[in-house]
Amino acid sequence: GDAFKTASDELKRSAPDVAKLRVSSATIAALAPKVESWFPPGSGPQDGVQSDALETVWTDRGEFRRAAQRFTAAATNFDALAKAGDVAATRDATKALGGACKACHDRFREKD
Could you read off the pLDDT of 21-66 as tens digits, one per residue?
A: 999 999 999 999 999 999 998 898 888 889 899 999 999 999 999 9
pLDDT at 44 (0 to 100): 87
Strand partners, 109: 53
* Predicted confidence (pLDDT) per residue in 70-99, tens digit: 999 999 999 999 999 999 999 999 999 999
Residues in a beta bridge with 53: 109
End-to-end CA gap in the chain:
15
Q: What is the mean pLDDT of the chain?
A: 94
Residue 35 CA to residue 78 CA, distance in Å, equals 17
Please give the pLDDT value at position 29: 98
Amino acid at 23: V
Q: Are 78 and 94 in contact (CB under 8 A)?
A: yes
